[in-house]
């Protein structure tokens, strides 16, 4: 089974390509730049504007960092899988989606329901909540009438380990997603999991280098310690910066509690940047932390660009308006269709390919810039005809 790779870009050069734009100014677009929008840069300019003053620091491999960003700026041409199901899709296959009752899970369900409708199968939605007790209760009810396939993204198996064993005994196919400890429970590390988080941390580190054109060495990482993937990305970013900078760069880690994200996350970032004026740029797994931050930076008289993953609609509005350097968006639609596809394949006894996250993630994620953000105002879609491609794989065209 082959896994499609995103098309490579031809030019791997200096400067900033995607994400965090320039330290010179948060809107910082260079109207005179004649770049082609694929992350190339020359001398003192890039597609985002002027590079910071100064020469690149000895030892920083700007080209290597830029190559990572270029990969995420190139268009995806097809969905990741290309092998049809081994057998005709059984319309009576039973699938259950375990909903953790968050806003993102609501969007997941919306996209999964669309996939089920296209596949011609019914998918049941079960509210699991996000507390240990509610999750345990929901899965206990599930094992009383186990389905053929369970999709349980972003729900830690720690809270349903006993039910996991019961589902296995019932020959239920179990697919998780967006968790970092799948291997501890004998589950496959799948989309949004540990390996994917390592890759995302590498991209964030590359963004910090490319946005500052290799002229800066002081960066900050705003971590949400309650979210396991955030901690994994932080560790990966530290390692990647060591690789890109050959020891010349420093990445400060600042913890911001998840409870503070929606009520004061941007204020916490602003306070930290004011206390550490040496910071050239920042990165974070949660782009929501930047909502409203550009205006607060303006009032404070500072201008430090940042890039976060999972850019929200308000982030995308800021990027399109030239107020935020850039973003790192995921195609949540294809993410959910892939989880269903994985469940269907495993339920038919098919082998699932060993994931190469450096090849897979660019097909699900993109770097948003001022020039491209408006195209994703309603959510990033990596492959326009993804639904037709999945339908062909499932034999339900």
Tell me the domain boundaries of the chain.
52-76+195-330, 95-191+332-353+384-394
User: What is the pLDDT at residue 261?
Assistant: 82
* Span of 69-73, 119-123, 245-249, 291-295 with lowest mean pLDDT: 69-73
Q: How far is CA 273 from CA 80, 196, 305, 318, in A?
A: 39, 29, 11, 19
Tell me the pLDDT of the chain averaged across its residues. Answer: 87
User: What is the pLDDT at residue 228?
Assistant: 93
Is residue 44 pLDDT above 60, yes or no? yes
Q: What is the DSSP letter of 123?
A: E
Is residue 28 pLDDT above 80, yes or no? no
- Taking the C-alpha atoms of residue 123 and residue 257, their distance in angstroms, rounded to an integer, is 35
User: What is the pLDDT at residue 168?
Assistant: 98
Class of domain 52-76+195-330: alpha beta
Instruction: Provide the pLDDT confidence category of residue 19 given band limits of 50, 70 and 90.
Output: very low
- Taking the C-alpha atoms of residue 194 and residue 183, their distance in angstroms, rounded to an integer, is 9
Cα torsion angle, 209, 364, 287, 312, sign:
positive
Are 9 and 38 in contact, with CB atoms under 8 Å apart?
yes
Is residue 300 pLDDT above 80, yes or no? yes
- Taking the C-alpha atoms of residue 340 and residue 345, their distance in angstroms, rounded to an integer, is 9
Instruction: Provide the pLDDT confidence category of residue 49 given band limits of 50, 70 and 90.
Output: low
- Taking the C-alpha atoms of residue 304 and residue 291, their distance in angstroms, rounded to an integer, is 14
User: What is the pLDDT at residue 338?
Assistant: 98
Is residue 14 pLDDT above 70, yes or no? no
Is residue 305 pLDDT above 70, yes or no? yes
- Taking the C-alpha atoms of residue 2 and residue 80, their distance in angstroms, rounded to an integer, is 8
Is residue 304 pLDDT above 70, yes or no? yes
What stretches of the chain adopt beta strand conformation (E)? Answer: 41-42, 45-46, 49-50, 95-99, 123-127, 149-151, 173-175, 218-223, 250-255, 281-284, 306-308, 327-330, 365-368
Q: What SS3 state is found at 139?
A: helix
Is residue 37 pLDDT above 50, yes or no? no
Is residue 30 pLDDT above 50, yes or no? no
Is residue 194 pLDDT above 90, yes or no? yes
- For the segment 216-227, the average pLDDT, to the nearest whole number, is 95
Is residue 210 pLDDT above 90, yes or no? no
Taking the CA atoms of residue 265, residue 108, residue 323 and residue 42 in that order, the dihedral angle to the nearest 10 degrees is 120
164 compared with 26, residue with greater pLDDT: 164
- For the segment 182-210, the average pLDDT, to the nearest whole number, is 96
Are 215 and 182 in contact, with CB atoms under 8 Å apart?
no
CB atoms within 10 A of CB 347: 22
- For the segment 102-110, the average pLDDT, to the nearest whole number, is 91
User: What is the pLDDT at residue 54?
Assistant: 85
136 compared with 397, residue with greater pLDDT: 136
Instruction: Provide the pLDDT confidence category of residue 284 given band limits of 50, 70 and 90.
Output: very high
User: What is the pLDDT at residue 176?
Assistant: 97
Helix axes 293-300, 261-275, angle to 10 degrees: 30
- For the segment 99-127, the average pLDDT, to the nearest whole number, is 95
pLDDT in tens, 347-377: 999 999 999 999 999 999 999 988 889 999 9
Q: Give CATH superfamily name and number for 95-191+332-353+384-394.
A: Response regulator (3.40.50.2300)
User: What is the pLDDT at residue 84?
Assistant: 98
- Taking the C-alpha atoms of residue 331 and residue 108, their distance in angstroms, rounded to an integer, is 11
Say yes or no: do domains 52-76+195-330 and 95-191+332-353+384-394 share a fold. Answer: yes
């Amino acid at each position: 089974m082959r896994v499609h790779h995103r098309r490579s870009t031809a030019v791997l050069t200096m400067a900033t390509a995607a994400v965090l734009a320039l330290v010179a100014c948060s809107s910082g677009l260079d109207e005179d730049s004649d770049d082609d929008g694929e992350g190339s840069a020359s001398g003192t300019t890039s597609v985002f504007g002027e590079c910071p003053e100064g020469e690149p620091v000895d030892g920083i491999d700007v080209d290597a960092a830029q190559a990572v960003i270029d990969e995420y700026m190139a268009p995806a041409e097809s969905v990741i899988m290309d092998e049809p199901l081994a057998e005709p899709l059984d319309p009576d296959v039973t699938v259950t989606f375990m909903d953790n009752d968050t806003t993102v899970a609501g969007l997941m369900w919306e996209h999964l329901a669309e996939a089920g409708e296209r596949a011609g199968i019914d998918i049941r939605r079960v509210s699991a909540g996000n507390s240990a007790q509610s999750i345990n209760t929901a899965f206990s009810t599930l094992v009383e009438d186990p389905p053929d396939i369970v999709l349980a993204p972003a729900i830690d198996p720690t809270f349903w380990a006993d039910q996991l064993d019961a589902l296995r005994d019932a020959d239920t196919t179990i697919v998780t997603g967006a968790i970092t400890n799948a291997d501890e429970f004998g589950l496959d590390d799948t989309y949004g999991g540990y390996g994917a988080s390592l890759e995302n941390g590498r991209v964030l580190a590359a963004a910090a280098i490319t946005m500052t054109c290799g002229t800066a060495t002081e960066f900050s990482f705003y971590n949400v310690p309650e979210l396991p993937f955030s901690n994994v990305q932080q560790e990966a970013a530290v390692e990647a910066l060591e690789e890109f900078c050959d020891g010349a760069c420093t990445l400060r880690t600042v913890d911001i509690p998840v409870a503070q994200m929606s009520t004061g996350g941007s204020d916490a970032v602003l306070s930290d940047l004011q206390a550490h004026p040496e910071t050239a740029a920042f990165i974070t797994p949660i782009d929501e932390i930047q909502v409203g931050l550009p205006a607060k930076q303006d009032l404070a008289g500072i201008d430090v660009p940042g890039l976060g993953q999972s850019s929200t609609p308000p982030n995308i509005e800021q990027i399109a308006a030239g107020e935020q350097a850039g973003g790192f968006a995921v195609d949540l639609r294809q993410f959910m269709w892939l989880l269903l596809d994985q469940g269907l394949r495993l339920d038919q006894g098919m082998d699932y390919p060993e994931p190469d996250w450096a090849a897979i993630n660019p097909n699900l994620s993109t770097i948003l810039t001022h020039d491209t953000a408006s195209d994703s105002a309603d959510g990033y879609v990596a492959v326009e005809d993804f639904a037709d491609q999945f339908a062909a794989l499932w034999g339900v065209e």
